[in-house]
């Protein structure tokens, strides 16, 4: 019950990594806002699971690429549980394509959700955190944002973008005791990676010293660590959760 009385908003928490983060915070006593874009049944399932473990949660739909929808999401969340103590920018999409074939829409869609989405959410949550001189902002980057990946120029640009934004905001918000960090997962087994061909999975596996793909729970553990009061002197960092794939 390490987060009892704390309110945490997680974008994209209906599935995958966001779901594991929501369940982990729920088990630790936090009030959990489960954001999703369209999978209401799955988001409701996450809420039910948290409640059946004795926790408090609500599901709220909003497209993070829409600035006004993010304002509505934060307003509704605050009405339900009060001020947001911890923001996890987790929503993300891929539109993989070799650069030469990549359409402008495929570039824009990924930037709009992954980078602009994080900007939109931080815009609506940060002011309150700065006023209260307390807050944690954690954004999901990717190993791809650090080293690049063929076929993912749009995704890599969005993830490198959130890393740059994280480091800048750590400098702006530090004096108000708001920490801003990013997590860069490696290859994690979720819907996002489910359709990758076996040959690509094997190539990734050969690059992972720990000899296994990551789980959503592996990432959730790192998020809870960064959100903890004991991590209060960690800001502007990118924590890799990649089985040793890159140092
Ligand atoms: P996932 O299983 O595909 O789930 C994506 C989540 O994002 C879903 O909850 C989805 O909601 C939500 N979402 C998508 N577009 C949205 C939008 N416009 N507004 C609000 N929510 C939206 O993805 P994942 O693998 O868990 O990835 C989570 C994060 O980790 C992403 O930022 C991803 O880039 C990052 N990451 C993943 C890996 C990996 O290997 N899986 C590696 C590195 C980084 P709906 O269910 O309603 O569609």
Which residue among 10, 38, 71, 92 has the greatest number of ligand 1 atoms within 8 angstroms of its CB, and so is best to mutate? 92
For the chain, what's the residue count? 247
Cα–Cα distance between 107 and 236 in angstroms, integer?
26
* pLDDT score recorded for residue 14: 98
186 CA distance to ligand 1 middle (Å): 14
* pLDDT score recorded for residue 12: 98
* pLDDT score recorded for residue 157: 99
* pLDDT score recorded for residue 122: 99
Do 146 and 157 contact (CB within 8 A), yes or no? no
Which residue among 10, 13, 114, 192 has the greatest number of ligand 1 atoms within 8 angstroms of its CB, and so is best to mutate? 192
7-94+111-148+159-186+218-241: CATH topology is Rossmann fold (3.40.50)
Query: What digits encode the pLDDT tens for the residues 23-38?
Result: 999 999 999 999 999 9
* pLDDT score recorded for residue 142: 98
Do 214 and 144 contact (CB within 8 A), yes or no? no
Q: Facing residues of 58 across strands?
A: 33
155 is catalytic: yes
Instruction: Give the torsion sign (CA, 223, 65, 201, 196).
Output: positive
Supply the DSSP symbol for 103: -
90 CA distance to ligand 1 middle (Å): 6
118 CA distance to ligand 1 middle (Å): 12
Cα–Cα distance between 155 and 161 in angstroms, integer?
10
Helices (H), 84-138: 104-110, 117-132
* pLDDT score recorded for residue 200: 87
- Which atom number of ligand 1 is nearest to the Cα of residue 94? 34
* pLDDT score recorded for residue 39: 97
* pLDDT score recorded for residue 247: 87
Q: For every one of its 247 residues, what pLDDT tens digit does the chain have, with 9 covering 90 and above?
A: 889 999 999 999 999 999 999 999 999 999 999 999 999 999 999 999 999 999 999 999 999 999 999 999 999 999 999 999 999 999 999 999 999 999 999 999 999 999 999 999 999 999 999 999 999 999 999 999 999 999 999 999 999 999 999 999 999 999 999 999 999 999 999 999 998 889 989 999 999 999 999 999 999 999 999 999 999 999 999 999 999 999 8
Query: Reduced to 3 states, what is the DSSP secondary structure of residue 151?
Result: coil
Among the listed residues 3, 36, 155, 233, the single catalytic one is 155
Estimate to the nearest angstrom the gap between the alpha carbon of 159 and the chain centroid.
11
10 CA distance to ligand 1 middle (Å): 11
* pLDDT score recorded for residue 83: 98
Q: 199: which residues sit within 8 A by CB, 6+ positions away?
A: none
What is the residue with the minimal CA distance to atom 18 of ligand 1?
63
Which residue among 11, 17, 39 has the greatest number of ligand 1 atoms within 8 angstroms of its CB, and so is best to mutate? 17
Helices (H), 140-215: 144-147, 153-173, 191-194, 198-206
């Amino acid at each position: 019950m390490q987060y009892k009385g704390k309110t945490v908003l997680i974008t994209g928490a209906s599935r995958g990594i966001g779901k594991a983060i929501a369940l982990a915070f729920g088990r630790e006593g936090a009030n959990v806002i489960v954001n999703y874009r369209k999978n209401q049944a799955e988001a409701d399932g996450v809420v039910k699971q948290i409640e059946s473990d004795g926790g408090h949660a609500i599901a709220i739909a909003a497209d993070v690429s829409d600035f006004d929808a993010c304002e509505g999401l934060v307003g509704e969340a605050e009405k339900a549980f009060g001020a947001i103590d911890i923001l996890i920018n987790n929503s993300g999409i891929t539109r993989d394509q070799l650069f030469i074939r990549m359409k402008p829409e495929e570039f824009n869609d990924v930037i709009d959700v992954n980078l602009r989405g994080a900007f939109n959410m931080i815009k609506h949550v940060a002011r309150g955190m700065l006023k209260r001189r307390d807050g944690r902002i954690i954004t999901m980057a990717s190993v791809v944002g650090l080293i690049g990946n063929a076929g993912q120029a749009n995704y890599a640009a969005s993830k490198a973008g959130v890393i740059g934004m994280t480091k800048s905001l750590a400098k702006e918000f530090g004096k108000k005791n708001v920490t801003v960090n990013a997590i860069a997962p490696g290859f994690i087994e979720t819907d996002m990676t489910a359709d990758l061909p076996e040959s690509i999975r094997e190539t990734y596996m050969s690059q992972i010293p720990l000899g296994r793909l990551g789980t959503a729970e592996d990432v959730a553990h790192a998020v809870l660590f960064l959100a903890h009061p004991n991590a209060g002197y960690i800001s502007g960092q990118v924590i890799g959760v990649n089985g040793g794939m890159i140092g």
